[in-house]
């Protein structure tokens, strides 16, 4: 893999931080990696592989991430593509929770099936969210915290190097 795009949609910054860690691991493996929000990506045809990540809101990838896959699905169908999501539900990481969260990707997987999927817990910091998102988070969440497992994120990204190279 020569040139990889890691692109993301985030509301409070946690998904960007996960994307940055994925990119760091891919770079350490020798790839040239660009990290950009999905709204800043104009072309994907110049990349050898694409990794798309999104926060989850109300059981869905963010609309701009879904739109990115819709807009670029023809090109993505010709290159290895991986997805990841960041969800606070995974702070309770059980097989049942993983099945539930994986189903959040069904609509985007119907557009394009990835070669790999990463499921990661997120973080909740009320100072980084506003408006309706904050009201909903306060209503359904018990406490702030950072449940991201950086080791698991790094391991997925490390394994992803081989998956992308052989897809």
CATH of the domain at 123: 3.40.50.360
Q: Which of 110, 70, 68, 62 is nearest to 86 (CA)?
A: 62
Rounded alpha-carbon distances, angstroms, from residue 105 to 109, 127, 139: 6, 28, 24
Tell me the pLDDT tens digit for each residue of 40-80: 999 999 999 999 999 998 789 999 999 999 999 999 999 99
Tell me the pLDDT tens digit for each residue of 108-158: 999 999 999 999 997 655 555 555 555 555 555 666 667 799 999 999 999
Q: Is the pLDDT of residue 1 over 90?
A: no
Model pTM?
0.88
Domain that holds residue 111: 3-166
Q: How many domains does the chain have?
A: 1
Task: Report the C-alpha gap between 124 and 115 in whole angstroms.
Answer: 29
């Amino acid at each position: 893999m020569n040139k990889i795009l890691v692109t993301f949609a985030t509301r409070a910054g946690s998904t960007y931080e996960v994307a940055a860690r994925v990119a760091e691991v891919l770079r350490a493996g020798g790839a040239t990696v660009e990290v950009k929000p999905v709204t800043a990506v104009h072309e994907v045809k110049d990349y050898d592989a694409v990794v798309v990540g999104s926060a989850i809101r109300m059981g869905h990838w963010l609309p701009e991430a879904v739109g990115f896959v819709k807009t670029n699905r023809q090109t993505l169908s010709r290159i290895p593509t991986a997805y990841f999501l960041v969800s606070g539900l995974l702070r309770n990481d059980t097989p049942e929770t993983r099945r539930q969260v994986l189903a959040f990707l069904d609509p985007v997987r119907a557009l394009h099936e990835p070669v790999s999927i990463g499921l990661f817990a997120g973080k909740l910091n009320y100072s980084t969210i506003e408006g309706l998102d904050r009201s909903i988070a306060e209503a359904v969440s018990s406490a702030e915290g950072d449940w991201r497992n950086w080791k698991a994120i790094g391991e997925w990204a490390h394994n992803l190097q081989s998956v992308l190279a052989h897809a």
